Copies of this chain bind each other. A is one copy, B any other.
Amino acid sequence: MSSKALFGARLPRYQVVAQALMRDIEEGRYQVGDMLPTEAQLGELYGVSRYTVREAVRRLTEAGLITRRAGVGTTVRARATKVRYTATVSDLTELFSFTEQTRLQVLHTDWIDGDPTLPADVAEQRWLCCHALRFVAESREPIAYVRMLIHPAYESIRARLEEPGVTVYRLVETLHGERIAEVRQVIGCTAVPAEEAPHLGVEPGTPGLRVHRYYQGDGEQLFTVALNTYPQDRFNLETRWRLDMAAE
């Protein structure tokens, strides 16, 4: 119960109806897969107008309990609102709070083709691979060694990679007018490889954070992959998950 439960607080009728329906679903009087009564029937059942029924039913829809289809009806989809924990960022840069104040320095570029250390779906294709260091602002010490895998179709990105403040995903979006629809991020740890260690100023084999990010378009197509190695103590990744207060 909320701390500000009010005794005299009359609930709107659509709330009463919504709660009654939720309870009926929760307690199994309507099973998942069942059809709910029609709006007209619910209106009669609860003695309210169609507007009120629709407002109530809208709540259930938003809570994901039901789906509706014109000409068909209303189907129960879930027994209870799942408690959902959500981390939302309004912009991908917020994923990595620092990203915007960083710059990239490209070391060299080559092609990779079937790297077995990569996931199967990535290793299948041939990628342009940009090796680079990431710096924070004016600092002379890099925070990460980055390998950027760029789909051959997006090769023109390479030329603009070193502009300050750019991010891969923004380049893909602006240069090619495509939206990044999904980002997959896999985090693990690693021993800093001998190839990368001197650039980072650490000993080979010392601990490093490995962050792989896969930028995907709307279908399944992979636009770019960023493989980052962060030496110890130069970088922390923080995520917050907040409880959704959707339907109570």
Q: Which of A20-28, A108-116, A122-130, A230-238 contacts B (4 or more CB under 8 A)?
A: A230-238
- Check: A89 CB closer than 8 A to any chain B CB: yes
Is A175's CB within 8 Å of the partner chain B? no
Kindly report which residue of chain B lies nearest to residue A62, judged by CB atoms: B62
Identical chains bound together, number: 2
Instruction: Let me know if B233 and A188 touch, CB within 8 A.
Output: yes
Task: Determine if A241 and B89 form an interchain contact, defined as CB atoms under 8 angstroms apart.
Answer: yes
Contacts of A241 in B (CB 8 A): 89, 92, 95, 182-185
A residues with a Cβ closer than 8 A to B are 82-92, 95, 179-191, 206-209, 230, 232-233, 235-244
Chain B residues with Cβ below 8 Å from A84 are 88-90
Interface residues of A, dominant DSSP = strand
Q: Inside 8 A of A182's CB, which chain B residues have their CB?
A: 240-243
A235: chain B residues within 8 A (beta carbon): 188
Sample (19) of A-B pairs whose CB atoms are under 8 Å apart: A83-B91, A84-B88, A84-B89, A84-B90, A85-B89, A86-B87, A86-B88, A95-B241, A181-B242, A184-B239, A185-B239, A185-B241, A188-B233, A188-B237, A189-B207, A189-B232, A190-B232, A206-B207, A207-B208
